[in-house]
Structure 1
Amino acid sequence: MPPILRYISYSIVLILLLCFYFLYTSAGQQNTYSILSYLASKKSHTKIEIKSIDLYSYPYIKAEALVENNYTVSLNGLAKKSHLDINYTITSDCIQSRVCSLYDSVNLYGKITGHSKDINITGKGKLLDGYTHYQLRKQKKTYKDVHLTLEEVNASKLFKLFGQKAIFKGKATAQLDFDYFNKHHKKGSILYDVKENNFSGFLADLHIKVDVKDEKYTFLIDVIAPDASLHITKGTYQQKQKYAHAFYTLDIKDLTTLKSLLKQNYLGSFNAFGEMEYTHKNLKIKGLSKSLGGLIDFVYNKKVLTLDYKDISLKNVMQRLSTASAFYANITGHLQYDVDKKNMRTNAILKDIQFKPSSFATTLKKKFNVDIVHEKFENSSFDATYKNHIFASKITIANKKTHIILKNTKIDSRKNSIDTSIDLRIPKHTLNGKLYLQRLNEKFTKDVYVKFDGLVEKYYHLKLDGLVSQKLLNLDYTLQANRVPSHLCTIEDTLNLKGHLSGAFEHLDIGGQGRVLDGNVSFHTLKVGSELKNLTLTMKQIHSLKLSTLLGYPIFPVGKATIHANFDSLTKEQMRGKLSYDLHHAKYKSLPLDLKSNVVFKGTKQTFSSQINLAGTHIHISKGEHNLRTKQTRAMYTIDVKNLESLKPIVGKNFHGPFYAMGKLTYHKDLAIRGLSKTFGGNIDFLYKKDMLYLDLESVSFSRIMGLFSYPSILKARVNGNINYNFNKDLLLVKTHLNHAKFLPSDLVENIFQKSSINLLRETFTKSTLEGNYQKNNIFANLKLANNKSHFYLLNTQINTKQNTIHAFFDFNMQQQAFSGKISGSLNKPTVDLNMQKLIKYQMDKQLDTYMGKQNRKLMESMPMGDVAKDMAAEMGGGFMDVFF
């Protein structure tokens, strides 16, 4: 029975009894109201203050009292010989229960009839913002036929009177029907309904039915909303043992309708069923759910929630959380959460993780050739704890080739921060370091503070410090390493850069400075998408060979270089800007070198020029053009060598004299150099292509060509023909014609003159050739000099340029003499050996022609044994001459 009705009935009965007492005793008439109040309060265990009693018109009585300092009770009626027929009113601005006091307007009125030991009470009125009517019968200490109806009462106030949170807000209807109840026995039922009213933010119907039989209660509860329902069935409650048990089913078709209740926007459906029990102030709930694809077995006991889950679909979980998942997986594990301590721990196995197609996956595929979409990560797990507002976890996503590990992760809800260690490994790439994230005051900004300190690719120490939002970033960075990479290679070197990143991700301002390649570097650009705009780059006093090695030219000169670059636009496909490269006091193969280059970039085309001074050799490259799309390069050049001897460290041979050439170079998969030189008196048209050098000679001075070498020239002539040289095989092929060849003074000419009186300097050879080849420091050649009357042949010539030696055979017929011989020894002072037998035979033929005539001599020689005497004479004479010569 509600306390207010109990207070009312006790108070009315006691007041009536006191009235009888005062009517029939003389002492009672003399007591004051204070004594009456004291006695009434003591008897009823309720504070009662008698305000007035009118007994002068007995049996008609009138009384007023204040109960519990809140309820004003007024009585007006007949009381005769323990029979009652009294009207009453109860008014108040506050309702009290054992739990709380609630400000509310109470206005009840009714009638009390019957004998003092068998009282009937009826009434109605306003209560809890609604209406009530009731009737009951009190026989001694037992109440019978109790019927109480509450209509359209305030559900929140009703729950508050019972000390419960008002989970249902709105107008409620309650029906209480008891056949009887007293201190030890009771029988009846209670119905409670709320129709289409606010249940923590959403409309729902609530229906509660309780059947009472002494200390045993049976109950059922239904909560029904348009997209959700909760049914609690077969509920029992043992009052003496304070034990309750029931079964339940939960069916939520659309979680979005529960956003106000769950304080989070969840999507999709959820179903669960199980049982609950209550004992000794402890609520225990057990249940099963298959809503997330697998099986969830959960127990809530002693304010600890324990979940065992198997093969739960991460996709379904993330869908419920209205959050996109980066990958698919099935989760199996265990979770435990202490509601009072707010501690949680969980460990799980992530099965068959597979990443979804995304911009992140596309970037990995494009830049690192890693296709995570088609990989499965079979060695993956998740472990976490929550304590003192700190969420700590370790997540591992791994297979044999790739892993992503976030360990020692701490998420502090008070600071809105995440502190973790990241370990990323993909084929050929790694990232390791400490990462700290903190969300700042959301009232003023949506920025996240980011701090990273770690290694990229194992060797590059990267630090980031600053703010990042969904669209903007503002970060300081430093990059340190003992190596410098390029798209071709990596070299050992000290790298120390620092700078700043700011702006939108698609409109990023990048600046920095520091030291690299033994020099200073500074740069600034605006990155818009994949394009760099307004790029300025300055590199001062850098190590030129280190830079050229990174660019794929490891034989570049060693020195200090300065680079200035300004680009309006720079992309992978095209560039607009200019660049200058200056190299001073450098060394190339021990030779001093100065170089200055300028390059202008226009879209896919580049124009360039260079000035090179190499040990006095001046090389000028002009009108250079390069097409990025076709990969074609061309330029004009001039080369002016004061003395080829200065270039010996480059060419590897000791050449002498000047050299000048001009021409054109092209590059398309292979380098080709075409040029023209008039250094040697005529024209040399040459072409270098695919490791071959082709030279076409036209009226070139033979002596000036021979002047290139360290040994003397014995001829002068105008050379026509071609010379080919294979750089791979170190093979030189010569095929030339010598026009107007003449001997120059030399030891060979002098020896021939001394021994034969033949003056080679007087001869001019109009029909001459020089053919030969050069390989491995050896020259093999045949020189044929001839005119209409004479000839000189230098055959089977072998010259060793390394040892500076010669070995050759010669044969000539001129100036009425004919003989042969050989040349050997040093090129600077060769040894000449004459064949005197041929010379004597030639002289005998001349003498016989004088005496006999040439025709008779030939006739005699044609006869058998006709030439024997002459040969014997020539042989003997030759041997004799050899002794003296």
Structure 2
Amino acid sequence: MKKILFVLLILIIPIAFLIFNDKGNEYLKPYVGTYLETKLEQNMSVEVQHLKIDLNYVEIDALLNDLTKIKAQGEVSLFSQTLDMNYTLKSDGFKTFDNQVDINGTLLGSFTNLQVKGEGETLKSYINYALNIKDDVINNIKVNINQADIASLLELTAQKAYADGKIDVNINIPTFKDMSKKGKAKIVLHETNLNEEVFKKEFKVDLPKKTVITANINSKVSAETFELEGDIKSNLASLKLSKTTYNLKSKELLTDYVLTAPKLSKLIFLTKQKLNGKLRVAGKFIFKKDAFNLQGKSTSFDGTTDFNFNGKKLNLKMHKVEIAKLLHLVGEKPYATGKVMAELKLSDIKNLKGTFKVSTAEAKTINQSLKKELNIDFEKAIAFSLKSKGNIASNLVSVQSTLNSDIFNYRSDDMKYQLKDTTLISTYLLEIPKLSKLTTIAGKPLQGDLVINGQMNYHNTLEMRGSSKSLGGNIDFKLAKQQLNTNIKDVSLEKLIYVLDYPQVFKALLVGEFKYDLAKRQGTFTSRLNKAQLLSNQLTVLIKQIRGVDLTKERYNMTHFNAVLDKDIININFKARSKNVLLELPIGRINKATNTIDTNYKINIEDKDIGGKIQGNITKPNITIESSSFIQDKVIDAIKDKIPSETLKDLGLDKMETETIKDTVKNLLGDLFK
């Protein structure tokens, strides 16, 4: 036994010398630093700069992360395993900004039951804290931080300077061991300005200037879960969180939320398109094991809008959403009212794959808006129904649509829309069973029906092409940038005149061009009439009575009709020639607003002229004769044959030659027929 004690004594003496001697302390410093580094998290570096260990006293100076100086000194009893020490933490600033750390505190208790307290300055604010470490379990945690600097906090956590403001943190947690006991935590974010430049650089987001955010969050904390409720508000939107729980073990987050955006126009940096109105969405958010699910419901546009999104799939459903509110949302005037039902299913968001369908109910136009904004006047609301469905595959959207209304029916079965370059191509069928219902839009009475087959294209601007055989022959048109160009070939003039609700004057096949500027309401019409035949009308009846010539029996093979349109005024020019007859309307005007005509006419029949005016309502105008060489000759012949010689003598004409008499009367009649 004596030998054993002697050996132990020999071993203890040098160890004690090593521990309690200054040189021994120097040897221990790197080992202590390494030990502390292993106990600390986040790869913090520890450099022990001074170490002194006596039997009941310890001093240690260390540098943490080359920034923060730590000093601790006080009584430490290895035999009773107790300590009573004071410590300080000091730092003159971080790498990119000034942030003084100056904290004083105490360590009191035993190695198995230690009380830690501290107070001072950090994050440009005052902090005080206290906690108890018992059997390696932290209890009775109390932390109060008032007006902490957010920019400093972001820097401390190696984050970008996303914001500049102040934050209060108050924590009171009894224990993490007993799950039945819950602590409390309160976070108050004072008015904090978001850094627009940093957001643009890091997230490519153009935040509005002076975006301010505040928050007030209350939490209950236990060993395994966090429960919190609170409000996060800004001048852009607000987010209310409730029933929020986070499980530390499963790392599962559950929360109910209400998102409110009072002015959607302020969120253009997210939507990339200016939106109007306000939005309120309520729903749930679930996050677990790197997967999430976001559910929401909104009644902001009347009806309901529901969605379910998990980052990979999206399901969205609209039920009886108001059309006028959707139009207002995208910046359009309320051209229509009614309900929209829609469903969007994206089965693969990454590759943009899915289906959709849209329909309307109780839909009708709002005539006041159409008249004011688009100068389209239906005089009353027009009921319509829309049905559309399609597929989305990568960047290609394929659509089938039908639009039925009181005025027209539209169908497109093969619309293709490229999302990447925003181009569209589609064929369509447009049926107008009663053109009379377009009278107010056309600015004049219409009748009959019309069927158009065509194609539309969109690339930066909309272009529509169409073709119709409803009037016989072909009518082909192109509409782009509000310019309408129409080619007409072998169209029945009778059918065209019938559609335009004008009196039937000619029977012919029409070939021509019509060019019209929809914005200026100006255009030109040039045409020729093939195999033209004049139909019976007031003028042909009058000519037949006077001349005995039936103009309807003639065939006019050299015929043209031209017009210049300027809003409601149509200036016309017409010429028709047959073997024996030349018929002209050299200068004429039609007023669509009053449905009147005012034109001169000239008719030459076998070198005999008849001229006059056609005026009044276009459906039944007044036709007058103002000059006629044929009538003059008739009157002269009548004078010669019917006036007695005594009468000529009384007039002093008995000695005049016949030709002289004719010239005199002709001049007189010419004055009358001017």
What TM-score, normalized by structure 1, do the two folds share?
0.57
State the match for 1:183 in structure 2.
Answer: none
Instruction: Give the Å deviation of 1:698.
Output: 1.3
**1:458 is paired with a residue of what secondary structure?**
coil
**1:194 is paired with a residue of what secondary structure?**
helix
Answer yes or no: is 1:390 the counterpart of 2:143.
yes
State the match for 1:321 in structure 2.
Answer: none
State the match for 2:621 in structure 1.
Answer: 830
1:405 to 151, 156, 165: 165
Instruction: Give the Å deviation of 1:774.
Output: 1.0
CA distance in 2 between counterparts of 1:580 and 1:635 reads 18
Instruction: Give the Å deviation of 1:455.
Output: 3.0
State the match for 1:270 in structure 2.
Answer: 47
Instruction: Give the Å deviation of 1:819.
Output: 2.6
Q: Summarize the alignment of residues 671-690 of structure 1 with structure 2, pairs less than 5 Å apart.
A: 671-690=462-481
Answer yes or no: is 1:813 the counterpart of 2:597.
no
CA distance in 2 between counterparts of 1:461 and 1:264 reads 33
Answer yes or no: is 1:509 the counterpart of 2:293.
yes
State the match for 2:394 in structure 1.
Answer: 603
State the match for 1:151 in structure 2.
Answer: 9
Instruction: Give the Å deviation of 1:480.
Output: 4.2
| 1:498-537 residue CA offsets vs partner (Å, 9 max, x unmatched) | 23424333x323333443410123333432xxxx32x333
Answer yes or no: is 1:795 the counterpart of 2:586.
yes
The change in CA–CA distance for 1:491 and 1:565 in structure 2 (over 3 A counts) is same
State the match for 1:194 in structure 2.
Answer: 16
CA distance in 1 between counterparts of 2:316 and 2:252 reads 25
| 1:82-121 residue CA offsets vs partner (Å, 9 max, x unmatched) | xxxxxxxxxxxxxxxxxxxxxxxxx9xxxxxxxxxxxxxx
Q: Summarize the alignment of residues 345-364 of structure 1 with structure 2, pairs less than 5 Å apart.
A: 345-347=119-121
Answer yes or no: is 1:578 the counterpart of 2:355.
yes
The one-letter amino acid paired with 2:358 is Y
State the match for 1:467 in structure 2.
Answer: 246
Q: Is the 8 A contact 1:840 1:874 kept in 2?
A: no
CA distance in 2 between counterparts of 1:526 and 1:402 reads 27
What runs of 5+ residues in structure 2 fail to find an aligned partner? 75-83, 109-114, 131-140, 153-160, 175-181, 197-206, 266-270, 368-380, 639-658
The one-letter amino acid paired with 1:477 is Y
Q: Summarize the alignment of residues 580-729 of structure 1 with structure 2, pairs less than 5 Å apart.
A: 580-588=357-365, 589=367, 590-648=381-439, 654-729=445-520
Q: Summarize the alignment of residues 165-180 of structure 1 with structure 2, pairs less than 5 Å apart.
A: 171-173=12-14
Of Structure 1 and Structure 2, which has the larger fraction of its residues in strand? 1
CA distance in 2 between counterparts of 1:878 and 1:508 reads 98
2:99 to 303, 313, 331: 331
Q: Is the 8 A contact 1:274 1:286 kept in 2?
A: yes
Q: Summarize the alignment of residues 85-96 of structure 1 with structure 2, pairs less than 5 Å apart.
A: none
The one-letter amino acid paired with 2:149 is T
The one-letter amino acid paired with 2:485 is Y
Structure with bigger RCO (C-alpha 8 Å, 6+ apart): 2
Q: Is the 8 A contact 1:770 1:782 kept in 2?
A: yes
Instruction: Give the Å deviation of 1:733.
Output: 1.7
CA distance in 1 between counterparts of 2:633 and 2:459 reads 63
The change in CA–CA distance for 1:610 and 1:468 in structure 2 (over 3 A counts) is farther
**1:517 is paired with a residue of what secondary structure?**
coil
| 1:332-365 residue CA offsets vs partner (Å, 9 max, x unmatched) | 354444667965444457xxxxxxxxxxxxxxxx
What runs of 5+ residues in structure 1 fail to find an aligned partner? 1-106, 108-124, 133-149, 154-170, 174-192, 196-204, 209-219, 230-251, 315-327, 350-380, 848-866
**1:331 is paired with a residue of what secondary structure?**
coil
Q: Is the 8 A contact 2:453 2:466 kept in 1?
A: yes
The change in CA–CA distance for 1:842 and 1:510 in structure 2 (over 3 A counts) is farther
State the match for 2:558 in structure 1.
Answer: 767
| 1:193-225 residue CA offsets vs partner (Å, 9 max, x unmatched) | 626xxxxxxxxx3243xxxxxxxxxxx675133
State the match for 1:313 in structure 2.
Answer: 94
The change in CA–CA distance for 1:440 and 1:795 in structure 2 (over 3 A counts) is farther
Instruction: Give the Å deviation of 1:295.
Output: 8.8
State the match for 2:669 in structure 1.
Answer: 877
Instruction: Give the Å deviation of 1:841.
Output: 6.5
State the match for 1:432 in structure 2.
Answer: 214
The change in CA–CA distance for 1:543 and 1:771 in structure 2 (over 3 A counts) is same
CA distance in 1 between counterparts of 2:661 and 2:69 reads 130
State the match for 2:19 in structure 1.
Answer: 206
State the match for 1:526 in structure 2.
Answer: 310
The change in CA–CA distance for 1:694 and 1:504 in structure 2 (over 3 A counts) is farther
Structure showing greater radius of gyration is: 1
CA distance in 2 between counterparts of 1:264 and 1:504 reads 23
The change in CA–CA distance for 1:828 and 1:616 in structure 2 (over 3 A counts) is closer
The change in CA–CA distance for 1:618 and 1:297 in structure 2 (over 3 A counts) is closer
The change in CA–CA distance for 1:462 and 1:869 in structure 2 (over 3 A counts) is farther
CA distance in 2 between counterparts of 1:453 and 1:630 reads 41
1:495 to 271, 276, 280: 280
State the match for 1:66 in structure 2.
Answer: none
The change in CA–CA distance for 1:603 and 1:294 in structure 2 (over 3 A counts) is closer
**Count of residue pairs the alignment pairs up:** 576
CA distance in 1 between counterparts of 2:443 and 2:272 reads 33
State the match for 2:30 in structure 1.
Answer: 228
**2:99 is paired with a residue of what secondary structure?**
strand
Instruction: Give the Å deviation of 1:784.
Output: 1.2
CA distance in 1 between counterparts of 2:536 and 2:517 reads 34
CA distance in 1 between counterparts of 2:277 and 2:186 reads 33
The one-letter amino acid paired with 1:877 is L
CA distance in 1 between counterparts of 2:239 and 2:441 reads 41
1:730 to 498, 509, 521: 521
The change in CA–CA distance for 1:871 and 1:664 in structure 2 (over 3 A counts) is farther
Instruction: Give the Å deviation of 1:271.
Output: 5.9
1:563 to 342, 359, 363: 342
**1:228 is paired with a residue of what secondary structure?**
helix
What TM-score, normalized by structure 2, do the two folds share?
0.73
State the match for 1:420 in structure 2.
Answer: 187
State the match for 2:376 in structure 1.
Answer: none
The change in CA–CA distance for 1:713 and 1:347 in structure 2 (over 3 A counts) is farther
Instruction: Give the Å deviation of 1:586.
Output: 0.4
CA distance in 1 between counterparts of 2:628 and 2:280 reads 82
Instruction: Give the Å deviation of 1:582.
Output: 0.9
Q: Is the 8 A contact 2:91 2:100 kept in 1?
A: yes
The change in CA–CA distance for 1:712 and 1:285 in structure 2 (over 3 A counts) is farther
Instruction: Give the Å deviation of 1:790.
Output: 1.5
State the match for 1:479 in structure 2.
Answer: 259
| 1:757-787 residue CA offsets vs partner (Å, 9 max, x unmatched) | 5544333311111122212211122111112
Q: Is the 8 A contact 1:390 1:413 kept in 2?
A: no
The change in CA–CA distance for 1:675 and 1:649 in structure 2 (over 3 A counts) is same
The change in CA–CA distance for 1:714 and 1:431 in structure 2 (over 3 A counts) is farther
Q: Is the 8 A contact 1:812 1:820 kept in 2?
A: yes
Q: Summarize the alignment of residues 831-850 of structure 1 with structure 2, pairs less than 5 Å apart.
A: 831-836=622-627, 838-839=629-630
**2:437 is paired with a residue of what secondary structure?**
helix
The change in CA–CA distance for 1:648 and 1:496 in structure 2 (over 3 A counts) is farther
